[in-house]
Copies of this chain bind each other. A is one copy, B any other.
Amino acid sequence: MKMAGTGGETTVSGRFCPECGAVLEPHVVAGEVRGHWRCTVCGRLHYDHPMIVVTCFVACGKRLLWVRRALPPKAGAWAVPGGFLELGETLAEGAARELHEEAGVLVPASRLDFYMVGTITFINQVYMAFRTTVESEFTLPGVESLECAFFSREECPWDQVAYPEVNEAIVQAYDDLDSGVFDIWHTEMTESRYQRQRVRQHLPS
């Protein structure tokens, strides 16, 4: 998983027009300036927007798949496989692609179940997490991973994780594996607040 703005990469924050290279100016919409930019030459409008991270919890029994990052940021630390959604792919296709790229695990997108959605406002990321199961712990680490491993909750190197800010969501996944009950979760994480709630659902009787 790459986190925006923490390594050499950046999200597009806008100063120069990506279309013509001229200077951008803030664009006021209905009296508000909110990360909108207008090109002073070609007039095109540009917007800064949050990024979508797709990720997948892959369970083999009570163990979940982790990857040890080969690339910055957080090289050497462990994370649940995932990364930015790319153009032209569905959420599940993106999560399946990341699984394959980072861990060599090939699961069809159609076998990924939608599981969690969350906003992390202070890094402007929305994450969409799927879940699936595999029969074996076989992996083939890609160029972005130093190694891959399935860890039980107890085996997990919690002190070497890349993004401890999402640990609570991962603990929830272990809880759900233990109980066999997989609700859908909606998380909001801001500078001042962490809130995870079960999405209310009324099943047909």
Contact = CB atoms under 8 A, between A and B. Distances in A.
Interface stretch (A19-27, A151-159, A164-172): A19-27
Contact of A50 (B12, B34, B52, B190): B52
A16 interface: yes
B126 A44 contact: no
Contacts of A43: 8
A59 to B, nearest CB: 15
A48 B11 CA distance: 9
A113 B199 contact: yes
Copies per complex? 2
A78 to B, nearest CB: 20
B8 A45 contact: yes
Contact of A101 (B23, B30, B117): B30
A53 B86 CA distance: 16
A126 B19 contact: no
Contact of A45 (B9, B14, B50, B119): B9
Most buried by B among A9, A90, A183: A90
A117 B91 contact: yes
B16 A21 contact: yes
Given A16-B17, A126-B85, A183-B203, A119 B101 contact: no
A46 B10 contact: yes
A142 B29 CA distance: 12
Interface of A: 8-24, 30, 34-35, 43-52, 84-92, 101, 113-114, 117, 119, 121-122, 124, 126, 128, 142-144, 179-184, 186, 188, 190, 199-204
Given A14-B18, A18-B24, A182-B202, 14 more contacts: A11-B47, A16-B18, A16-B19, A16-B20, A21-B23, A30-B142, A30-B144, A49-B52, A49-B86, A50-B85, A50-B86, A88-B122, A114-B117, A117-B128
